[in-house]
Amino acid sequence: MQHVLSAPIAPPPSMGEHAHRKSADLPPLKPQGTVRREPMLPEGWWVGVLVFAIIVVGGVSLLSFVLSLFASAIRSFSEIY
């Protein structure tokens, strides 16, 4: 059993040389072989920003708590002495 055709398949006579093809409706292909530029920021940059913001807010709140504790200690020692 052979699967090779002896003669090439010709298009049907109803299709002219300039017949409308479905591929004409498609957008043109992008040029092949172009180098993709790397983005300026890595893919998970927002995770780093979120962690940095949490650390900064935590540090500021800890500093505020320590300063208020220190101020209340100074007030209590000033009443004693």
pLDDT one digit per residue (tens) for the chain, 81 residues: 556 667 767 666 666 666 666 777 788 877 777 777 777 777 888 999 999 999 999 999 999 999 999 999 999 999 887
Q: Output the furthest CA–CA distance in the chain (Å, rounded).
A: 114
CA distances, 74 to each of 54, 59, 64, 71, 80 (Å): 30, 22, 15, 5, 10
Following CA atoms 57, 63, 65, 70 in sequence, which dihedral angle do they give, to the nearest 10 degrees?
-170
Q: Is the dihedral of CA 24, 29, 31, 32 positive or negative?
A: negative
**In this predicted structure, what is the pLDDT of residue 21?**
67
